[in-house]
Structure 1
Amino acid sequence: MKATGKDVYRLADGRRVPYVTCWSAEKVLPGRIVRHPRRAGIAYPDEVRTDRDIERALWVRQGLGRGGGEPVMAGVHPLRQRQCMADNACQVCGHPAVLDQRGYVFLMRSPSGVPVREGERTVAPPVCAGCVPEAVRDCPPLARGFVAAHVGSYEFWGIAGIIHDPHTLSPLPHDVAEPLPQVAFEDPRFCWTLAARVVVSLRDVTPLSVEDLLSLCADQPPRTASPVDEALAAHPAFNAPLDDPLAGPQAEALLADAIFGPGTAQVIATRSGSSRAADHCSASTPEDIA
């Protein structure tokens, strides 16, 4: 399933697997939820600084192994979603999504066709002009109806994740239509939520018709491998035998370095035998850790 060199990841029918998509090898890693010892909220008993972001949100632990196993087309990897939002990157190819310094294109599923509004919230990162036709054509959720907008800017609003009961620490029931409820930074439930997505609020919104969308993106060639894929393609860790015990940790450390800058990787060994590379740049400060 995984292509080699600088080729993109594609399905057997030629469709590209979006950059933010999960793969079956990227397992959700063990992480027992406990009460934070010093303040209200949840924590991991073995918590490290990379389990939280700069807003002190506790994040789900999920392995890194893009291209491993089969793509889970309905799944979104938390780290890559967060990276795309932070870096203004396209969710399909991973390249910068800005349109000639004029803002970004956002696509949202909407069977009813209600236009995107000012201040609307989303967990879907932007899409670059070159990937818009592909996304509209190949994305299963968009096939049931979508709306588009040109967005001048967006700001971080909160997180989406699993809210836990403050008394029992059990996950609270949620609406089937919203498996990951959205919680604002200032919401009292924020500290009781295990984050899986960043939520942003859109600003300077201009709804786009299909004709306007395609015109805006005309003559923009689709991009191939993401900058991260290109940086990693020739590295020995990605060409090592599958039974090499160092291949996984080396590849994941390199991925974190490629995303967040040299020297930022922390590969965290888990009791399951997997490893996890996490965001150093947006981690909480040491005194925030349990």
Structure 2
Amino acid sequence: MNDNSDNESRLVRAGLVPYIVRWSGERPVRTPVVTKGRSGIGYPNERPGDRDERGVLWSRYVHAPGEGVPEFGGVHPYRQRHAMRHLLCQVCGEPADRDDRGVLWLVGDAGRGWSDEDVTGHPPVCLRCAGTARRACPYLRSRGALALRVRNAPLAGVSGTLYEPRGRSLVCLGPATLAYDDPRVRYLKAAQLMRALRDWTVVDLDRQTT
């Protein structure tokens, strides 16, 4: 067993599966994407919750946390969106840690640092769960975790699958991350909500106290 699998097995045994992680029983709902004229794309029969408050279409997934085995490399669109909107900890789903320097965030690429032009799809964390997030998230494990206290984290856009209308049909262009003010966003089927992290301070996570 490799180190990643061993870490994940320990987390499962300890009951420390992050809130936003997708389980194997939570599969995508196979609903066709159709053109909706000037509104972009949509589903033939849309339901409440299919679009966010900006009108962007979201991926439909079965919601069954705990069913099957956790897939640590993926996130559930609904829980990721909920945690990002309400600044909840990505591990336990409770409010993220906040002090006078801002909300606590862990971002990847510790060696590169962080720029105000960057955006993240990783929700914040609470202090109690910060260590778990570093161990459980494949992205943070592979690139190193940079801890930030953030005072300003506006919603910046969405990440998902982009389509393009061609005649009366749609062509899938693949993954894309778009700002909300990008006109192409109406042709995006979103899977993650993104925030920009601004007015931040780098902190030593090991010196933070609960």
Q: TM-score with structure 1 length normalisation?
A: 0.64
Q: Which runs of 5+ in 1 are unaligned?
A: 1-9, 174-179, 221-290
**1:116 and 1:148 in contact (8 A); partners too:** no
User: In structure 1, what residue type is equivalent to 2:207?
Assistant: S
Whole-Å separation in 1 of the counterparts to 2:47 and 2:133? 37
Residues 6-21 of structure 1: pairs in structure 2 closer than 5 A: 10-12=11-13, 14=14, 16-21=16-21
**Structure 1 residue 103, shift from structure 2 partner:** 1.6
- CA RMSD of superposed structures (Å): 1.9
Residues 38-77 of structure 1: pairs in structure 2 closer than 5 A: 39-77=38-76
Aligned to 2:153: 154
**1:21 and 1:71 in contact (8 A); partners too:** yes
Deviations, residues 61-93 of structure 1 (Å, cap 9, x unaligned): 001100001111111000100110111100011
Q: Which runs of 5+ in 2 are unaligned?
A: 1-10
Instruction: Please tell me whether residue 198 in structure 1 is matched to residue 193 in structure 2.
Output: yes
Deviations, residues 148-191 of structure 1 (Å, cap 9, x unaligned): 21111211111101000121412104xxxxxx421111112101
**Structure 1 residue 101, shift from structure 2 partner:** 5.3
Aligned to 1:118: 116
Moved more, 137-146 or 116-125: 137-146
Question: Secondary structure of the residue that 1:170 maps to in structure 2?
Answer: strand
Question: Secondary structure of the residue that 2:95 maps to in structure 1?
Answer: coil
User: In structure 2, what residue type is equivalent to 1:109?
Assistant: G
Whole-Å separation in 1 of the counterparts to 2:133 and 2:15? 10
User: In structure 2, what residue type is equivalent to 1:46?
Assistant: N
Deviating beyond 4 angstroms after TM superposition, the runs of 4 or more aligned structure 1 residues are none
**Structure 1 residue 134, shift from structure 2 partner:** 2.3
Q: TM-score with structure 2 length normalisation?
A: 0.87
Higher strand share: 2
Whole-Å separation in 1 of the counterparts to 2:86 and 2:101? 16
**Structure 1 residue 119, shift from structure 2 partner:** 4.4
Count of aligned positions:
198
Whole-Å separation in 2 of the counterparts to 1:45 and 1:51? 11
Whole-Å separation in 1 of the counterparts to 2:137 and 2:188? 29
Query: Kindly tell me: are residues 119 and 129 of structure 1, through their superposed partners in 2, closer, same or farther at Cα, counting changes over 3 Å?
Result: farther
Question: Secondary structure of the residue that 1:72 maps to in structure 2?
Answer: strand
